[in-house]
Each structure stands twice: as C-alpha cells, then as structure tokens.
Amino acid sequence: MRSLLFIPADSPKKLQKGLSSAADALILDLEDSVATDRKADARAIALAFLKEASASSLRPRLIVRVNSLDTGLTDDDLDGVVAGAPDAIMLPKAEGGPAVIHLDAKLTAREAVHGIAHGHTEIIALATETAASLFAAGSYRGASARLTGLTWGAEDLSADLGAEANRDQDGRFTSPYVMARNLCLFAAASAGAQAIDTVHIDFRNEAGLREEAEAARRDGFTAKMAIHPAQVPIINEVFTPTADAIARAKTIIAAFAADRDTGVVGIGGVMYDRAHVARAERLLARAKAAGLG
C-alpha cells in the first residue's frame, strides 16, 4: 500500500467515489468523522459496502477504523462490520502490544462466528494518539501476527497534551510530534510492520503534501494516509519507486550476487555494503507491489 484514503463510513456516496480514487486502500471511518448518533447507521452502511465491494477483484484494500478500546464502542463496531470480511481493522489510540493482543482476541472470536478464515483480518495500529502510547511504542514487536501496519497521528495527541498547535508557522510539525513520528517509524521497523505516515490536513496545499511525503519516504515510511481524493495521486507518485531507483537497486543486488564473498562493492564511485542490498530488495518489493518490474 502507498495511499490510504479516509472516508466517513456513514456516506454511501463518498464510499462509492472512493473506489475510483486510485487509492491503494480505503479506510472506512467509524470513529472521528461519524457523529455519535450516526454510529449505528455507519456500521450498517459500512457492512453493505464491504459486501458489495469485496466482489470486485480490482478493488482497493478495505480497512475499517473502529472506535478506540476505551470508548465501549469497539465491540459494537466489530459486530457490525467483521461479517463483511474487511482486509484490516485500524485501531485508534492504541497503547502498545497489549491493545493489539486485545483486538486480536476480539477478531479471532468474530472470524469464527462468521466463518472467516482465522487471521484473515489484519490490524493497523494508530500508535501515537495519546501521551501514554509513546511509552509503549516498543511493545508491538511479537504482539500479533495480524499486525501489518503502524501509523501515527498528531491531532489527538495535541489534544491529549493540551497543545495550542502541532505545527509551526511554516506548517511543519513541532518537536513533540516529530518525536511521535520517529517513534512510530522505529516501532514499525522493530515489529516488521509497514510504516505509514500520517495525514496532511491542509488538503489544498499540494506542495506541502509533496514535501511531507518525500521526507517520510526518505526516512523509511512506505505509505501515507489521505483525507481527500485529490491527495491520492501525489502520494502514489511519491511512494512509487522511480525507474532510476529500480535500476540502481537491481545494479546493487547484481553486484553482490556476482561476488558473494565480498562485503563491499564500488559502483559509479560510491561504496555499497550489505545493508544496501537489504534496502534494494525492499525497494524492488515495493516496485513489484506497484506493478513495476
């Protein structure tokens, strides 16, 4: 996945429009974008959409963001949507491995009830939305085989901190949120999960989105969430390996394959070691997922 587009789960029109957005995944949101008195309707709409959209082989991945474990709404959300066999559940305000283990158990029970293969439903955790969650970032490793992605958020975290803002006058995240971003990246690498960058809320600022996405890719994130369909093409472009990058990766891998006993090779006046092979292999895997050779 390169792009994950949030869509309010109570809007059939927006859900249908999301299918033509070119996003790699749609996040059917039962949490922040749905008012309390609309939660039940949103679950029913999400379930109907999941059942309809799942029939298409060309569909994006379908993810449902449920309400957090501390709201008392998570069970109702799961009861409402798991029958539609979503590809993943996004857990907001996750506080480390124990939260993922808790959700795993809930999914196991519901998969059994609905005749869905055990482990079908993956978990993506929003890992930085509370101050407490930052202290648990190292506990995701080994928590669940379902955990395939970690992402971060600054809006709820800023509310938890009582901050006036989470970005400076230039639109860049201030230091507490940079730390949260970095902890998410480290936690994802440790857990062997995909690192997914947070949303860029100024959806009309294409230059700002591109700059933020390129910085995320540079540092190790491989995807970014979106809040508007117009953001999807930029995100897809940034996180799709270029032809030059693919060629360079193949050259590095070939150089080491030609001399399996060496630890370092020189290519074009630049020295590469075995760590660069791992990076090259990951880039080629991303290219293959994007339909490139």
What's the rounded Cα separation, in Å, for the pair 169 and 14? 32
Q: What is the pLDDT of residue 134?
A: 97
Q: Is the pTM of this model over 0.75?
A: yes
Residue numbers in the chain where pLDDT is lower than 70:
293
What's the rounded Cα separation, in Å, for the pair 33 and 89? 16
Q: What is the pLDDT of residue 293?
A: 63
Q: What is the pLDDT of residues 143-177, one digit of tens each?
A: 999 999 999 999 999 999 999 999 999 999 999 99
Single-letter amino acid code for the residue at 23: A
What's the rounded Cα separation, in Å, for the pair 19 and 50? 12
CA distances from 16 to 46, 54, 129 (A): 11, 13, 29
CB 255 within 8 A of CB 272: yes
CB 79 within 8 A of CB 44: no
Instruction: Give exposure, 32-54, as e/b (b: 16+ Cβ within 10 Å).
Output: ebbeeebbeebbebbbebbeebe
What's the rounded Cα separation, in Å, for the pair 63 and 85? 10
Q: Which domains does the chain have, with CATH numbers?
A: 3-238 (3.20.20.60), 243-289 (no CATH)
Q: What is the pLDDT of residue 41?
A: 98
